[in-house]
Amino acid sequence: MKFDIRSLHRDFGYFFIGLIISFALSGILQNHRQTWHPEKYTVEIKPINLQLPQDEKELTEDYIKDLTKNLGFKDKFRRHSIKNGELKISYEKHDVEINIKSGNGEIIAFKKTPFIGQMNQLHKDTSVWWIYYSDVFALGLIFIAATGAMMFPRGKFSFKSRGWKLAVAGIAFPLIFLFLIA
């Protein structure tokens, strides 16, 4: 069996195609996570009314954890924040939002979105084996890009003739974008 650059490029492409598609789809979902929460969906919203201290300094993490017990949550506490008179408490499977002055708010119960929630972990997982696999994947993508650039060694569509200009544009575009938003 003869291996040339086209065969290597093709076989690496076939090997990584599933992961490329998974990363691309989960990347799109991550890009839009502020407008649509792809990892979870709302199951139930219940109104609540609580008496809260009016001094925001009293709404400490310890106070919030006691409040959690009083609400009967068996859910894992993550964090809380106060912004514009609203107390927001985040749990693993619930969010609580309460107006500090009125005490009116809601408990939002949610579940992980099947498949999409797990797929998004591709961008977040920090286990050692996944980091190494991601490194191999990144090197594989570099290899696919390099071998793809060598597929047409001569002619008007070669990397030397035309491809390098597109490659420079592909590198310049995200750099320009980073400088504009930085």
Task: Please compute the mean of the pLDDT values over residues 124-136 and round it to a whole number.
Answer: 79
CB-count burial class (<10 Å; 0-12, 13-18, 19+) for 97: middle
Query: 9 with 28, same domain?
Result: yes
pLDDT band at 97 (very low <50, low <70, confident <90, very high): very high
101 and 132 together in one domain: no
The average pLDDT across 111-124 equals 73
Q: What is the pLDDT of residue 3?
A: 63
| Residue among 47, 48, 52 nearest 64 (CA) | 52
Pair (19, 51) in one structural domain: no
Rounded to the nearest integer, the mean pLDDT of the chain is 82
Q: Model confidence over 164-174: pLDDT tens digits? A: 888 888 888 88
Quick: pLDDT tens for 9-59.
888 888 888 878 877 877 787 777 776 666 777 788 899 888 888 888 888
Give the residue from 71, 91, 112 where a domain finishes: 112
Pair (46, 105) in one structural domain: yes
Quick one: 132 and 120 in the same domain?
Answer: yes
**Final residue belonging to a domain, choices 112, 131, 164:** 112
Residue-number span of the structural domain to which 79 is assigned: 40-112
Domain shared by 131 and 177, yes or no? yes
Does residue 1 surpass a pLDDT of 60?
A: no
**CA nearest neighbour of 119 among 20, 17, 14, 34:** 20
Domain count within the chain = 2
Domain boundary among 70, 91, 112: 112
Joined together, the tokens standing for residue 168 give 């420079």
